[in-house]
Structure 1
Amino acid sequence: MSPEHPLYLDHNATTPVDPEVVDAMLPYLREHFGNPSSGHPYGRRALEALEEARAKVAALIGAKPSEVLFTSGGTESNNLAIRGTAESRAERRHVLTSVIEHPATRLPCDALEWRGWRVTWLPVDAQGRVRVEDAARALDPETALVSLMHSNNETGVLQPVSEVAALARRHGVTVHTDAAQSVGKVPVDVTALGVDLLTLVGHKLRAPKGVGALYVRRGTPLRAVTLGGGQERSLRPGTQNVPYAVGLGVACELAGRRLARGLAEQVALRERLWTRLRVSIPGLALSGEDAERLPNTLHVRFPGVRGSAVLDAAPEVAASTGSACHEGGETASSVLRAMGVGEQEALGSVRLSLGPETSAEEVDQAADALIRAWRRVG
């Protein structure tokens, strides 16, 4: 552990690419370079690899391979889900989402609002969770789409997607969930959730940046938002990125094996980190303490200091704050403010997100470094 090679506790931001993923991709960056739309042997080999990868992605989320579209990542998947639904269901002009969504969901919904759509922004409770009864009241005959993230990227709090989806189905509403943070960390099954559209992202589960997927349940009304060839059911035209799709498929396969072994070890490490910090830092708060959270995510609020100052004083730890820096200073996380956390307290937040290779020794070292940093700047 050193400032040049700090302990990496920022897996919700991005993950290292698994060596098995790299090894699987390399042949498709070298000898198997064909275009999967070509009819010759080079193209057929690429197409076989693409469809094998599609099946691996589908298996992780309980989908059919034909329901998986490859995209460039979460932003594209969310835009296709939201804007594509709006284009195909123009007879209804109401969208339901939450105030804690990622910008890749929030901004497309903003754009619909500018075009005259009605957007209901569901609030969250003090734990950072949408209330099902609020969604029930907001649904009406004009609702075309519900877009609700599966877990929050800052706090790790899981949202009531299946409960809201069950309500939405009674109104004939399309349901989308951004599961970028969840897939690979907790079991995610599209049938159990009852969703029509689901976003997953490669670089959140040890595949490269620049690849993702959108699950589209068969029969779901959706229109392409980019125009081109007929690839990916004509919903995401353009020559597919075969090497990265292969990498995503292998990453999903590896994630499925980890999930099959259980999540207890990850939860134990998260709780070990929380306990060490809590015992040594009076007044330390835990965001979403009473809610179900991702097993790897610990979002804490250091008392009396800014989270950015703590991290600056602990260069041995690589982690994130929820605040945004600008010329006038820092602005507290909108997620925490939506939970009712005051501005100054929210500025003390730090997100610590573990990975499958994080060890107990690393957790202890990170805790000690953060405790020393808080005492130094407090």
Structure 2
Amino acid sequence: MSKSPEEEHPQKALGWAARDNSGTLSPFHFSRRENGDDDVTIKILYCGVCHSDLHTVRNDWGFTRYPVVPGHEIVGVATKVGNNVTKFKAGGRVGVGVMVGSCKTCECCQQDLENYCPRVIFTYNSHNPDGTINYGGYSDMIVVDQRYVVRFPDNLPMDAGAPLLCAGITVYSPMKYYGMTEAGKHLGVAGLGGLGHVAVKIGKAFGLKVTVISSSPSKESEAINRLGADSFLVSSDPSKMKSAIGTMDYIIDTVSAVHPLLPLLTLLKVNGKLVTVGLPNKPLELPIFPLVLGRKLVGGSDVGGMKETQEMLDFCAKHNISADIELIRIDDINTAMERLAKSDVRYRFVIDVANSLSQ
């Protein structure tokens, strides 16, 4: 007979979980494993609310395992480290992102691309090799293998820095891989949400000219005056879109809703690159003519591996980059999820876990 989540492991934990595809979250008692020789036990202070959390609790992608405790933008303090742990000490600032495990031996793992490992273990809504379920960061503590823990820089704010562990690395990784780092080049950022607003900041830190491409004219002032974009393009304005044809070297597409790719492809110069990082729940149509006639590239990118995630955090610390957030209490999470579904957040909710979740 299988044990209940509360009895599965020796350490008692408290989080908020969804039990069905209504996505409604409520308090949930469960347990975490003991700290092993390679583990770091973390007291969670803050956890960002990612759009994928919303998709998961509502089972939009069809593979949610209930009960599910979301959360993979975790920042906290190490409270215990195992005998083999060398990079972290109790009391240190640490972070945990999208994954907590991988095979460690495949080609991807050997290249520090653990996120592409065929046996990657996600921070929540996944199983460990022993069959136990992983629960995420909407909780008071977590135990993670040291390989999947990052050092959180001292000069990064822990609350506003938390979203960098997903949103930040999701845009930083493709910029590095696809060569979107050459100062003076023109980057378009499609969508000004949790990912898009961080992409603007990182793009500017690389020295790029940045244009925000959005369907919401009301975001122009924020894009330019608050986030530092060089220009703003309303995607629903045919004349403005026409005037921008062939002007961009790269576009990062952060839009998570179904949308046409053709207008974005026309904005690219010859040899331009369109990289998608959003995850619409239905396939997008890919027109081939503009690719062939402009020698353009369409690519995709996931979050980065652990080495690159640490590199990204250090880069953001150096350039004073963090997310624009709205700090909430855990008991406001269902309202926040409803607002997130309507894109009613500037630009990322972060849960003040330590000050609002108590046993």
TM-score range, shorter chain: 0.3 to 0.5
Higher Cα radius of gyration:
1
Name the structure where strand makes up a greater proportion of residues.
Answer: 2
TM-score normalised by the chain length of structure 1 = 0.33
Higher relative contact order (CA closer than 8 Å, sequence separation 6+): 1
Name the structure where helix makes up a greater proportion of residues.
Answer: 1
TM-score normalised by the chain length of structure 2 = 0.35
